[in-house]
Structure 1
């Protein structure tokens, strides 16, 4: 998809306290061999802070940086990985009420760690369908501080889960970066990779997640995981090249590249190597310090690049991600001006 006149005008993030991998090892939460393999040096832990409150804080920052009043927001798209509150309750109204958005639509996206890239694509469609809509707010937040799963070792090799929230203000009137392209593709044959042998409907109310066990089950019963990884890497590169082509640029034109905050070898295997991108163009060196922040990875990394002045006008930024289902996605942004909030 090639959006017309769609811009990022504000970015916001809520980043809780960091726990180092070394400290986790001392507490018996993490193994040193896993840390050395992944290169992940720490992650963010939010304690008992509700994710929707984290989302509101990130959204306030994004709106302030965009110079945008909450009343100007035409619609909100909130994405998440985990349940955001009580069962049969939905976060959109809460976020809008806390921000003071009086007359806006609200949608929720449940596409795992790809949530914000999916929201970006859906927002582009909303703008195209209704020219009267000029401003959108995208938010996401997750807090993994629960018995649901093991943030240090339960989500796969090279993956340490962190808590965070992030927000993006999109505008058709201009901003710090133009959205040049956004695309997604699904590999349906791999949807069971993150389901394993677990039932589609569990009346027992099971509340634990072991992504490693699910993947191993899929590898034993469907297709060897080595083959799965090869296909995923190929499809990720395909969808990234599609976005680059739509943006009218080549891989060599990319100034910086943002992928999921995972171990060094995973970022290389699934993203950098298939495209021929050098690691120094990635944000892995930053991502390794905060962990995999669910759907916030891309926005938090982009905010880091913009705020620290690592990208400037004319620079092309490639974003790519993946999520259970199995989804691969990408987007291309071109920085149009230096952010007013840059250091």
Structure 2
């Protein structure tokens, strides 16, 4: 851990080596409708230059009756079924998301609990952007460890990105957002994937990147235009007083990533060379290669990245949906280890290290 004297006041770390916690079930659900980058280009919503730079090839697009919580509930039911657990054994539901949830001022987490369990388990929202799924995983692990009678927790993610609130092809620089639900069941009962360790690092000095230097608003879509995260970043970096901010921001981003990965590996008692796969937040191609799997030493083939480029950035669900895809397509062996890497607006990094058990032959 970084010496206290070297850490700014807004820099916090949380690391844990977990005992007897397992992912018992995984599930993901995608809408049927596919929109390709070529279709978006033909419609004037995307450019060939952005496609060639970012690498995104297609996304799934939800219908009007498929908001994030509905997709999350579908994935949750699948994860629960695969876990072999009963609904009444779930003592906590955490629902993570980034986009609009189909209604203003309501509880999508409670909807998910009702639709999947209807057992009265407390249900809470996690709003940590692209790191929402992994943030929920760490919180659920804390819940199960702190309560001796708790057996399992359900984590869901669900996002659908629609105009006029968000333009999936243009809201952020070269980022393309796809609709999906994802879920996992974390349990104290031995299962196919053992959770070895998690680590979270926060640097709140970076929250300005997504807030931007502009004035506060009183309500969503107050100006009538879709959210423009790219413009907020440009406004921040273009300000005269932030002349040298870009280099400082890059340094902070590298430091947060290195700290989270290093602590998770240390607490898991493993080296990076012992990790077979990496499942990370889905970024545009240049960012993914230069800031995530490249610096970590993973080949592209050791990630789920090419699969992700066919589905887009899934809001809070990249890692859970990616892990679900990995275990059904890569024939994991007992002892194989996987690193889950997340970073969300704020900024908070969360990294988890997992190991396939002998029960991993019956995939979660």
TM range (shorter): over 0.9
Q: Kindly state the Cα deviation for residue 60 of structure 1 after the two structures are TM-superposed.
A: 0.7
| Greater CA drift, 311-320 or 135-144 | 311-320
Q: Distance in 2 between matches of 1:100 and 1:190?
A: 38
Q: Kindly state the Cα deviation for residue 160 of structure 1 after the two structures are TM-superposed.
A: 0.6
Whether 1:244 aligns to 2:277 is: no
User: Structure 1 residues 200 and 329 mapped into 2: Cα distance closer, same or farther (>3 Å)?
Assistant: farther
Unaligned runs of 5+ in 2: 1-15
Q: Distance in 2 between matches of 1:230 and 1:20?
A: 35
Whether 1:156 aligns to 2:178 is: no
Provide the residue aligned with 2:249 in structure 1. 228
Provide the residue aligned with 1:219 in structure 2. 237
User: Structure 1 residues 143 and 204 mapped into 2: Cα distance closer, same or farther (>3 Å)?
Assistant: closer
Q: Please give the per-residue CA displacement for 1:188-228, whole angstroms capped at 9, x wherever unaligned.
A: 11110001123344258526310101111221233533442
Q: Kindly state the Cα deviation for residue 238 of structure 1 after the two structures are TM-superposed.
A: 1.9
Point out 4+ residue stretches in structure 1 off by more than 4 angstroms.
Answer: none
Q: Please give the per-residue CA displacement for 1:273-308, whole angstroms capped at 9, x wherever unaligned.
A: 322222221221111111101111001110111011
Provide the residue aligned with 2:183 in structure 1. 167
User: Structure 1 residues 324 and 216 mapped into 2: Cα distance closer, same or farther (>3 Å)?
Assistant: same
Q: Distance in 2 between matches of 1:310 and 1:23?
A: 34
Q: Distance in 1 between matches of 2:361 and 2:178?
A: 26
Q: CA RMSD in A?
A: 1.7
Aligned pairs, how many?
Answer: 341
Question: Contact (CA 8 Å) 1:239, 1:330: kept in 2 or not?
Answer: yes
Whether 1:67 aligns to 2:89 is: no
2:60 corresponds, among 19, 37, 44, to 44
Q: Distance in 2 between matches of 1:203 and 1:98?
A: 29
Provide the residue aligned with 1:298 in structure 2. 319
Write the mapping of 1:259-270 to structure 2, written as runs, cut at 5 A: 259-270=280-291
Write the mapping of 1:184-199 to structure 2, written as runs, cut at 5 A: 184-199=200-215
2:44 corresponds, among 20, 28, 32, to 28
Question: Contact (CA 8 Å) 1:15, 1:165: kept in 2 or not?
Answer: yes
User: Structure 1 residues 64 and 20 mapped into 2: Cα distance closer, same or farther (>3 Å)?
Assistant: same
Whether 1:54 aligns to 2:71 is: yes
Q: Distance in 1 between matches of 2:331 and 2:235?
A: 42
Unaligned runs of 5+ in 1: none
Question: Contact (CA 8 Å) 2:110, 2:124: kept in 1 or not?
Answer: no
Q: Kindly state the Cα deviation for residue 167 of structure 1 after the two structures are TM-superposed.
A: 0.5
User: Structure 1 residues 339 and 70 mapped into 2: Cα distance closer, same or farther (>3 Å)?
Assistant: farther
Q: Kindly state the Cα deviation for residue 92 of structure 1 after the two structures are TM-superposed.
A: 2.3
Provide the residue aligned with 1:328 in structure 2. 349
2:193 corresponds, among 164, 171, 177, to 177
Provide the residue aligned with 2:100 in structure 1. 83
1:145 corresponds, among 146, 150, 162, to 162
Q: Kindly state the Cα deviation for residue 311 of structure 1 after the two structures are TM-superposed.
A: 2.4
Question: Contact (CA 8 Å) 2:141, 2:186: kept in 1 or not?
Answer: no
Q: Kindly state the Cα deviation for residue 113 of structure 1 after the two structures are TM-superposed.
A: 0.9
Whether 1:13 aligns to 2:31 is: no
Provide the residue aligned with 1:340 in structure 2. 362
Q: Kindly state the Cα deviation for residue 319 of structure 1 after the two structures are TM-superposed.
A: 0.8
Provide the residue aligned with 1:123 in structure 2. 140
- SS of the aligned residue for 2:281 comes to coil
TM-score using structure 1 length = 0.94
